[in-house]
Structure formats: structure tokens, C-alpha cells
A and B are shown apart, each in its own frame.
Chain A
């Protein structure tokens, strides 16, 4: 008995190794990045995440040129970028945001220069904008390991992150190691944006972190539910992006970024709608 043509058509974007590996990788990375993104938003670190995403470009380019792991290259790129940004922020009479902007621009320029010496233009474009359709089963395994590690990490430090996001001053007074907890957050943010950059590219990686988070935070659910929902939306972002790409014949990573932004816009609209409802109705929504 053959498959129903309508179902076959529905599953077509996910069919074969080509679609299934891409969707699997995007779903795994999206789920982990969605949860990390909730903390990024609550800690007000979206600008840092964006800066990391762009400034890691030299690491990606060098890894591609050497034929080594892009994830490792991106993580090394983030570490170097963080050092450069901290150094830039020590410039006298310069605000941190201005110094960060200059530092990021410098690193993107260095990435472009290195690429011009050997990496092909098509390859460089894929590092900038991502190429999720090129995912292999090995990439899926790396994404699964990443999702597992991030999940365990966020589970372990959930209560400390919550105390710190709730009120840094009072977190200190109740005995939370504020410096260490803040550093751990930056660490998981760096790993997440580095992994997202290998899938969605240096320029679009941020969408995987902030899009799903902004899609659910305005809905004012409890923290645990918010993190879970952001993971689900993150996974859906990748799959929806694959469908958009398949049917509209648009580049995959741009389609994923558009899906992430659409979820964020939906969240904003949902939040505005909830804010207009009477408090009792909002309370009922929060209890769910």
C-alpha cells in the first residue's frame, strides 16, 4: 500500500538524507539555543550574543581553511573575540558599547581578510549566512551532544541563574556566587552562539537564540514552562525554516532566521493581547 500523496507532499521537505539531517540538526540546535536564549534575554545579554556571533568569524574561517571542526573553530573564535572585546573596553573615555562595536567590526574584517587569502567565496558566504542543508549525520550527532550538554548545564544551574536574573543584589546577599554564576552564563552563551553560527552562519546565528525566547517570554508563563516552550519553539523554528526554504525556494538559513523573527513577532502580539485582558484572565493563562 503506497503513501497518501498529500502526506508525502507534506513530508517532502523532510524527506531523504538531505532534509532529515538538516531538520534534525536545526531542531536539536534550535531547542538548546531556545532555552539558552531565555536566559540571554532575561540577563539583557542579546547585544553580547550578537557581538559574539559576528566576532567569531575569524575562528570559523580558519577552521574551514584548515578543514577542521567548525564548532571547535567557532568556540575558539568566541574565546578570542571575548578577549579582544574586553581589551577594547579598556580604552579610555570610550563606552563599552562603542568599544564592542569597533572590536566586532575589526574581527569581522580580519575574518574577511583571512578568507580572501584562500577560502572560496561560496564557502565564505556559507560561513556568513550558514548552510544548514549541508548537514551530515555527523553534524546531527554533534548537535545532539550539544543539546544534551546544554540541557544538563541549564538544569544544574537553573536555580542560581533564576536568583541572579531575579535580583543580582539580593542573590549576593543570600550567598550566590554572583561572579561565577555570571561567568557560567557567558560560557554557555558563547558555546550556544558558536554552535548556532555553524548552522545558521555568523550573521544569522542570533536568531536561533533570541527569536524563540522572545516568542514565549511575553506570554508570561512560569519560568520552567517558559524554558520548555522556548526549546519547543526553537526546534520548530528550524523545521519551519526548512519548509519555508523548500516551498519558497529561499536560502535555508535566511528562512530559519525569518521563522525565528516570526515567532518573536507572534510572542510580542500575544503579550500585547494578554496585557489587554483583565488580571484574572492573565492569572489563568499563567497557571497553565
Chain B
């Protein structure tokens, strides 16, 4: 499922309400099972001396008691999560020495290792190189095929078109349904207001993309 909307449209705020970090100003939030959340920005310290595997294993902290170290089972699960994002061979590498796209994949692996039924991913493709982007998209597809609910916040219209379901959001819910049904010209214009760039393909089909200057990529 894609949460589609411009920056400032409320995607991250909705995620923060779902994770309990923010109290909703109205209504209630009901969650079944645990949520795993991948924040939009990577504010991690790149000079902190941890390996890629260490970072993934951090995802299992809530299930471990203070004196309980990561055992074989946790290590195995973490390596499996790294394998899913194509970084099993980098398990012993220093996290800070990876590229931005690789770090995003490691943080996705840390989200996966939490074994939650629902994954909230805030702009997982923002600022990511094409190779990593492809790996992340394929990983998300596999997670969906396994029956996990994967909710991705994105301003990428093309990404939304390829999803099962789209929620268009710009400070309020504008549409909710299958992309072919809800991603109409009118809904997209309403979602992006004046920020939408309309591009027409060679055969005359209208294509849409959010204005580039609104992309605030992570570092």
C-alpha cells in the first residue's frame, strides 16, 4: 500500500500517529500486532564503530532482556534479513563505510528482522541509487507476497501506480483504493495541488510526477 502525497502532506505525521509517537488530534488508532517503522531520515552516527550485522540486530532489542545478548537465533535471523536486501556478504563491514543506498538497505533489514506483520516505510527510496532502489522495491514486493502489510509513504506517482492500493493524502484523505481506480487526473491534481508537473508521453498519454524541488532526500 502506498501513502501518496506531497512533502508536508501528512504522511510522516500519520506514521508517527500509527507508531504512537504522536497522539491523534481526533479519532482513534487501532493496531493489530506489532509495527516496524523505517523513518525517512537516517540520522545515525557514521563514526560509531558498529558492523552492518550489529545494526540489523538492534531490531531485536525489544524482544531481548537487558543482559540477554544476541544469540545464534538472532544472528541467523539478522543474516537472513541482510540476505533479503542483498547485503549478506557485507555483514562484517563497518556501517559507516557503506554508501547511502546500502545504508538504507541495512535499515530496511533492521525493520524486517523485527518480524512485524505491518511495516511502515517512510520514503524508503528517497536519495537511493538506482541499484539499491531496485533491490528495495523487489524486497518490498516479496514481503507483500508473504502476506505482510507493507505501507510505504512516497511522493513517487510511478511507485504508487505499481502498488495494490493507494491512499492519496494532502492534509486530508483524498482517495483510497486501487491505483487504476483512484489515481485519476483530478485526484492527483488535488493531491499535489500546484506542485504537480504534468508530462505527456510520446503517444499522448498523460504522465504525472511531483515537482523536483519538493524532494528532500536523506543524507
Q: Using CB atoms and an 8 Å cutoff, list the residues of chain A in contact with chain B.
A: 42, 155-160, 162-163, 165-176, 220-223, 226, 279, 283, 286
Contacts and interface: CB of A to CB of B under 8 A. Distances in A.
Contacts of A169: 39, 41, 43
Contact of A174 (B45, B47, B58): B58
Label chain B's interface by main secondary structure: loop
A173 B40 CA distance: 12
A159 B70 contact: yes
Contacts of B70: 159
21 contacts: A155-B67, A159-B57, A159-B61, A159-B64, A159-B70, A162-B50, A169-B39, A170-B58, A172-B21, A173-B19, A174-B36, A174-B58, A174-B62, A174-B114, A175-B61, A176-B61, A176-B62, A221-B49, A223-B50, A223-B54, A286-B49
Contact of B48 (A42, A159, A174): A42
B101 interface: no
Contacts of B107: 170
Contacts of B44: 166-167, 170
Interface residues of B, number: 33
B50 A166 contact: yes
B170 interface: no
B72 interface: no
Nearest to A169: B43
Contacts of A226: 49
B71 to A, nearest CB: 12
Contacts of B54: 162, 223
A170 B61 contact: no
B67 A156 contact: yes
A279 B49 contact: no
A256 B61 CA distance: 38
Interface in B113-137: 114
The 9 closest A-B pairs by CB, nearest first: A175-B62, A167-B44, A156-B67, A156-B66, A173-B37, A163-B58, A223-B49, A166-B48, A222-B49
Contacts of A159: 57-58, 61, 64, 69-70
* Interface residue SS majority, chain A: helix
B81 to A, nearest CB: 13
B179 interface: no
Contacts of B57: 159
Contact of B58 (A42, A155, A162, A283): A162
Query: A155, A163, A176, A279 — which one has the most chain B CB atoms within 10 A of its CB?
Result: A163
Contacts of A165: 45, 48
Most chain B CB inside 10 Å of its own CB: which residue of A156, A167, A168, A223: A167
A222 B49 CA distance: 5
A167 B43 contact: yes
Nearest to B93: A283
B8 to A, nearest CB: 19
B55 interface: yes
Nearest to B57: A159
Contacts of A173: 19, 21, 37-39
B122 to A, nearest CB: 10
A167 B46 CA distance: 10
A226 B67 CA distance: 20
A6 B37 CA distance: 64
A166 B55 contact: yes
Contacts of B164: none
Contact of A167 (B45, B47, B61): B45
A160 B66 contact: yes
A168 B64 CA distance: 18
Nearest to B58: A163
B94 interface: yes
A162 B70 CA distance: 13
A56 to B, nearest CB: 27
B6 interface: no
Given A160-B66, A176-B62, A286-B94, A170 B50 contact: no
A75 B57 CA distance: 35
A155 B54 CA distance: 15
